Structure 1
Amino acid sequence: MFDYDAELVRYQERLWEALDVRPGDRVLDIGCGTGGTTRQAARAASPGSALGVDVSGPMLTRARQQAGAEGLDNVDFVQGDAQDHAFVPEHFTLALSRFGTMFFSDPVAAFANIGRALSPGGRFVQLVWQAADLQEWHTAIREALAGGHPPSASDSTAGAFALSDPQGVAGMLAAAGFTAVDVVDVREPVCYGPDAARARDAVLQLRMAGDRVGELDAVSAERALDRLSRTLEAHDTGAGVWFDSRAWLVSARRP
């Protein structure tokens, strides 16, 4: 299972500063994955609580196991889609998402549903990727696997980059009923592993890499993997394999 917590450690620090979780907060973590951010929020919010929601059952199993191992009794996890999940109305004081909101089929409906789950004055803080051509991890890895050819236009406008337009995101949040929308430019590197060999194993767990290699014949796949290895070796700093990236830190408030 890919370790998103390790990949996004620098962004986690920036998100945490913006969240300012206080004791007594009731925190909702959208797209929580294996729950690293949810557990951190639960510890900071005590005697409050944190709830993580994600569509992935295996990731939530890992999240629950880790929460149990850490002895956290104020954290819970639920499998579901935040776009239409029946959250308790006006229950949460803070909602957050670390790169978990870009895949909604209807972002305005999803943001409105999250807003209904927030108490009046509650905040919603999220990180989303900027445009694909600003993401070294995206361009370098895909070009390596494609033999130096740039990603197609469809690769750059959908999925992870669906919320890359800051004015568009602000408009969606306003349409969903949020106020005080603020969008901040954040630039941090992402890490794919402690060295090139382990980074290759990690990258191939991602759909953007695994699916592409799976489409190739044996000879082409071997060549693509060789190019990927060379790209990862070039980004091995001796203290991890790092790629540049840019994101938007988006905050808003329920009236």
Structure 2
Amino acid sequence: MLTRRNIVAGIASLPFAGLAASLMPWASFAQDATGERPMPDTIPTNAGDLVIHPIDHASLVLEFDGKAIYVDPVGGPELYASLPAPSAILITHGHGDHFDVPTLQAIAGDAPLITNGDVHAKLPEALKARATAMANGENGTILDIPIRAIAAHNTTQDRMNYHPVGVGNGYVLRFGDSQVYVAGDTEPTEDMLGLSDIAVAFLPMNLPYTMTPEQAVEAINTFKPAIIYPYHYGESDLSPLETDVADGVEVRLRNWYPNQA
């Protein structure tokens, strides 16, 4: 059973001499055992590099063209102290592991926000004044970056109360010629399965709230992103992503829980 804890232990025990090149997608785990955050990844686009910073659980930062886009920042300002201040903030939905007002108030500065309608209604007035609510299927821009809101909800009948239809968002952003999909909390939806030409996707997998790793594999093999980052995975067994993902899709396993043993 491959979980976030035994990934760290297993990779840390490998003899790294001569293996660095072949283990690049896994290299961050060498430092995760010390409690440090994974190193950022760089994705080339035709308009410059996109730099991906995994932060914790469902929080990440995307740097592009001198801009820093924070996605679902929670956990307090200290998690972001070493990063550029946010140029914009995206929030997928209102659960506490994705939306935290004190963190936003501490880090937001004058950055614009894009949220779903539920979060927009809960924002303090100072943040709401520069926030835009997007509904599933809507298109827009933020900092001249095209963005589209993707339906994010449960599809299994006994899980529907966790993420009802029409509430949460995922987001597809276009950086140069590369599209990045951040799914938020969801099972495979028609919107997700209908995506195409996705360079990077972030997919959640933990029960009972989002999808199983097997559901994630099925979705990956349907819309075929070039690179997939499992995130929001808790104690899930990630082994199916090593064995069952179609050829041509790169699975990048990172430790999204660097502060947990």
TM range (shorter): 0.3 to 0.5
Task: Say which structure is richer in helix.
Answer: 1
Higher relative contact order (CA 8 A, sep 6+): 1
Task: Say which structure is richer in strand.
Answer: 2
- What TM-score comes out, normalization by structure 1 length? 0.32
